[in-house]
Each structure stands twice: as C-alpha cells, then as structure tokens.
C-alpha cells in the first residue's frame, strides 16, 4: 500500500536517516515486538526518475521491517495480503504520529 499520510513525512523530516521506534505496544500490530526491539523505518529520497527511486527502494528495503518512507511524499507498507498491509499501515501511522507528537528536539517528553 502507498499513501500520502502526513505523519510519515514529518517523521522522515525529523529523522532523515531512518525513524526509530521502540517500546510501544502498537509495534505488535506492525509485526514486531512491543519491547526490547528497535525498529527503524527506512527513509529514502523522493525523485521523479522511477529507476532511481526503485534503486533507492531496493537499498532501503529491510526484510524485517514491512515499510519504507519516501521523504516529503508518503509511505509504502506491505503484508501477506491487502488486509494485513492495511492493518500494518494503520498501526504504523499511529506509531509515527505518537513519535512525532512526543518528540522535542529528538528527545521524548518522558512519556
């Protein structure tokens, strides 16, 4: 699935090297452990040349992380079928909203 949600774009702007997520229960819905598991959502640069963008996607792809953010554009999330991909997208969008919303200059507010 590919959507143009705002939370991934804001998160990629704050963490252009990859968006770190950890110790959040909602990670289970994304297919990862809720605790003691650092999940980094890869971020790739956007571009109009689909070959260049495809190569960046291939370099950013991680088998253990079913998502990839395209900077200043949107996010791709996948699963075994459309239902799983949609569920993972919903969970990840929540995780990214939470992470952006609780971040102050890269530090969490102690939540």
pLDDT for the residue numbered 111: 41
What pTM did the predictor assign? 0.85
Mean pLDDT of the chain: 89
CATH class of the domain whose range is 2-108: alpha beta
Residue 14 scores a pLDDT above 60: yes
Strand, helix or coil at 14? helix
Confidence of residue 59 (pLDDT cuts 50, 70, 90): confident
As a whole-number percent, the residues of the chain with pLDDT over 90 amount to: 66
Question: Which secondary-structure segment (H or E) carries 2?
Answer: strand 2-3
Pairwise CA distance, residues 82 & 36, whole Å: 28
pLDDT tens for each residue of 87-107? 999 999 999 999 999 987 545
């Amino acid at each position: 699935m590919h959507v143009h949600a705002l939370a991934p774009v804001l998160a990629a702007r704050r963490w252009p090297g990859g968006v770190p997520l950890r110790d959040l229960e909602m990670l289970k819905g994304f297919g990862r452990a809720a605790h003691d598991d650092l999940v980094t959502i890869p971020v790739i640069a956007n571009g109009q040349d689909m070959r260049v963008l495809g190569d960046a996607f291939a370099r950013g792809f991680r088998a253990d992380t079913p998502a990839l953010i395209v900077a200043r554009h949107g996010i791709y999330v996948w699963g075994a079928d459309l239902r799983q991909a949609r569920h993972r997208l919903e969970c990840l969008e929540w995780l990214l909203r939470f992470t952006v919303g609780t971040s102050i200059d890269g530090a969490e507010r102690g939540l």
